[in-house]
């Protein structure tokens, strides 16, 4: 396993569309292993292959309940909405409120090529959306919530007071 270099926002590759994975081989396994190691090395919760310079539809994620490997993922169901702050390993130092579905259902292949279903709410739903967006060249800065949707100041104070 090896830590790969994370591409940052000035790199035009981040705006490119990733291609589907068709070969479930050693090369893919190495990519998945390296991506997980790279993500954990910087305390990230998700990483898309394009962020390490590989234009393939591959994502790794860990929002606290274990590593998930997503190959050729797609969102098949979404519901509700949430506005929370979001950041990106490829856009260091920047955070912003994004508008995302509160709940998503994702269909993706695992490293054996089998199709699996995943569900996520809250952070996990945001993470699925954020990483799958990367595969289409979309960054969280494209999903910023309009100001009227931002949480109210009182609400934020309430949350920090607890």
Taking CB atoms, the residue at the shortest distance from Zn ion is: 88
Residue 143 is classified by DSSP as S
Of the pair 61, 88, the CB lying nearest Zn ion is at 88
Least Å from the CB of residue 91 to Zn ion: 7
Minimum CB distance to Zn ion smaller for 3 or for 24: 3
Using CB under 5 A as the criterion, which residues of the chain lie in contact with Zn ion when the complex forms? Answer: 88
Residue 96 parent element (H or E) = strand 95-100
Smallest gap from Cβ 4 to Zn ion, in A, equals: 15
82, HSE (Cβ side, Cα atoms, 13 Å): 19
Supply the minimum distance, in Å, between the C-beta of residue 130 and Zn ion: 5
- Catalytic residue positions, numbered: 131
- C-beta of 88 vs 106, nearer to Zn ion: 88
- Among the listed residues 58, 74, 62, the one whose alpha carbon sits nearest the alpha carbon of residue 19: 58
Residue 83 backbone phi and psi in degrees, to 5:
-125, 115
Q: For residue 31, give the H/E element and its range.
A: helix 26-41
């Amino acid at each position: 396993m090896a830590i790969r270099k994370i591409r940052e926002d000035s790199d035009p590759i981040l705006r490119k569309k990733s291609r589907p994975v068709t070969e479930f081989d050693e090369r893919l396994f190495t990519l998945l292993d390296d991506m997980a190691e790279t993500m954990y090395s910087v305390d990230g919760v998700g990483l898309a292959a394009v962020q390490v310079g590989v234009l393939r539809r591959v994502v790794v994620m860990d929002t606290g309940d274990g590593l998930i490997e997503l190959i050729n993922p797609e969102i098949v169901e979404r519901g509700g909405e949430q506005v929370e702050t979001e950041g990106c390993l490829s856009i260091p130092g920047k955070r912003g409120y994004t508008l995302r579905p509160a709940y998503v259902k994702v269909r993706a292949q695992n490293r054996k090529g089998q199709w699996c279903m995943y569900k996520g709410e809250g952070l996990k739903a945001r993470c699925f959306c954020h990483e799958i967006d990367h595969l289409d060249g979309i960054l969280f800065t494209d999903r910023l919530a309009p100001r009227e949707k931002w949480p109210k100041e009182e609400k934020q104070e309430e949350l920090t007071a607890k």
